[in-house]
Amino acid sequence: MRITVAQLNYHIGNFERNSRLIIDAIKKARDEGSDLIIFSELCVTGYPPLDLLDHIDFIRRCEETVYKIADSCRGITAIIGSPIINTQPEGKKLFNAALALSDGKVIFEARKALLPTYDIFDEYRYFEPAKDFRIFEFQGKRIALTICEDLWDEQPFPNEFEKSRLYTISPMDELAKYNPDLVINISASPFAYTRIEAKRKIFIGKALKHGIPVISVNQTGANTELIFDGGSLIIGKNGKIFKQLPFFEEALYTFNLESLYEDFTEPEPVVPDTVMLVYKALNTGIKDYFGKSVFSKAVVGLSGGIDSALVLVLAVEALGKDNVVALILPSRYTARQSVDDALKLTSTLGVKYEIISIEKPFTAFEEILKPIFRDLPPDVTEENIQARIRAVLLMAYSNKFGHILLNTSNKSEAAVGYGTLYGDMAGGLSVIGDVYKTDIYKLARYINRKRIIIPESIIKRPPTAELRPSQLDTDSLPEYRILDEILFRYIELQKPAKAIIEEGFSEELVKRVIKMINANEYKRYQTPPILRISHKAFGAGRRMPIVAKY
């Protein structure tokens, strides 16, 4: 049996585009002599369709598209992902399904049993979980057809709860009762740099446990803040990886199923460098955010600091230098070096730029507010005014020329509220809002691995907001190398203060950092969409009350 794995980039709700991608892949697979081609979870709609699933006309378009694709399956069978209607009077109105199509018909359907409701997932909001399990028989092979989470049943709770398993049922154990010859898993698994190895272990573990090959097909590309890495896996019955498809690229791969039952000698694919993967993820996120919307151009506020430098480089690579503009907005506190470094970077990248001093509007605000502020000394109020003046200018450019403003705040700043609401937190897309400051430097070094693009003076210079004389980030925050360690433990690992302190961190500092995190939840509610590269990003995946005392 010849099988083709189709790792493609889908657009939510774009039925014409998605069906064209799928049908083109079916034709190519048939030309290569494939008997079966496999696509990813909810490929008909794009993932995640969210509340579009509540619209009956959306579901009707799904049905029409399924049969359009089925009509192209002549001489070949395709496995696709689509919502289907639950015809029973009880339960949610839809199932998340894997459908086998052949000769214009749906010849088999498998329904997803484990519906994740953690992190960014909320599938039980829309879908009824499957309770019955059947085997798909195809060309003499018994296939256990599963959908994403159905193979993740053994994953542990994400924190220190006493329970060790998240689910009470194993769909694969149920399907194993029918002695399958092959496991196929179609998925829409978002990228998280901490989960690459975990994914591998899950699929390898299933192959070894049941002694049969496992084929896992993931999508690639990005939809709003979610980025999909691809990396589809084909694993032999011996638990060895036969093939891993590339990360963040579309790919079709055809092979003979019989090879997966043999003792093949293909070298084990190396897990790519984490920094490189994060860089590719951010690049993919920007490219698809623009490519799947009505916008094509971006504007970046370039300060001469490392955060905005990184965002500018990413934007230029994703969109092209002719589609990116940098605004340099110096104040009375901006060092000459900051402007020089910003100009040097724009020259290296070949990017158009404008220099607009904020001195006049800032002076005007000081004069207007002087009667109200009386003789009160300058403080964070005046700092925030400068940040908001910059936001007004950036958004004015955005409005006038149709450029999306790319936000340049990092995760460390967002976590502790080190940013100005309606100021440097403004934008249409937060590019590095899920990247800690210490990782910003790693990405900068990655960019400069072959030649100097980001000036070394930007990388080596101590971080500063330049909103008052001789200001440094460390005036208000701990050193980032310490801060980020605490943040990671509290946000990603969800460890309580006591556990973090027991690891050797200062009790006073840990409590201060956690207080800052909790106190600034209201700011994070108003941030732009944040490109997600971790398993616990701010936004839809981390839901915290604003008015709470804990």
Alpha-carbon distance of 104 to 152, in angstroms, equals: 32
Q: Examine the residue annotation and report whether 206 is marked as an active-site residue of this protein.
A: no
The first and second tokens of residue 304, run together, are 């001469």
Q: 83 and 188 in contact (C-beta within 8 Å)?
A: no
Tokens standing for residue 505: 């961190």
DSSP secondary-structure letter at 233? E
Active site residue 62: no
From the candidates 41, 149, 413, 466, give the one annotated as an active-site residue: 41
Task: Write the CA distances from 320 to 121, 196, 282, 324, 448, integer angstroms.
Answer: 33, 29, 15, 7, 18
Q: Which of 43, 112, 199, 413 is catalytic?
A: 112
Whole-number Å distance between alpha carbons of 42 and 46:
6
Contact between 434 and 531 under an 8 Å Cβ cutoff? The reply is yes
Looking at 43, 62, 73, 148, which residue is catalytic? 148
Q: Can you tell me the distance from the alpha carbon of 269 to that of 329, in angstroms, rounded to the nearest whole number?
A: 46
Which DSSP string do the residues of 19-62 spell out, in sequence order?
Answer: HHHHHHHHHHHHHTT-SEEE--TTTTT-S--GGGGG-HHHHHHH
Distances from the Cα of 219 to the Cα of 14, 106, 462, angstroms: 15, 22, 40
Nearest to 81 by CA among 98, 67, 94: 98
Distance between CA atoms of residues 156 and 166, nearest Å: 6
Q: Quick check: is 149 catalytic?
A: no
CB 173 within 8 A of CB 187: no
Do you know the residue count of the chain? 550
**Cα atoms in the 13 Å half-sphere on the side-chain side of 292:** 21
Rounded CA separation 406/76 (Å)? 45
User: Which amino acid, one-letter code, is at 255?
Assistant: F
- Calpha distance 137→141 (Å, rounded): 6
Catalytic amino acids? 41, 112, 148
